[in-house]
Chain A
Amino acid sequence: MSDPKSDAPPAKKPGIRDWAEGVGANINETIRWCGGMAVMFGQAMARGPRRPWGLFDISYQILQLGIRSIPVTTMMSIFVGMILAWQFGEALADFGATNSIGYVTSLALVRELVPTLLAVTVGTKMATGMTAELGSMKVTEQIDAIAALGADPIKKLVWPRLVAACVAMPLLVAWGNVIAMLGGMLISEAVFDIPAGYFYNSYIDELEPIHYVMSQTKALVFGALAGIIGCYQGFSTKFGTEAVGQSTTETVIAVSVLVLIADFALTALFIPI
Chain B
Amino acid sequence: MMMTDHNDDMLEDIFAQARAVASTPSDDLMARVLAGAVPPTPPVISAPPTSVGKRLLDMLGGWPAVSGLVTATFAGVWIGVAPPASIQDYTAAYFGDEVSVSIFNDDAVFATGDLTDG
Indicate whether A and B interact. no
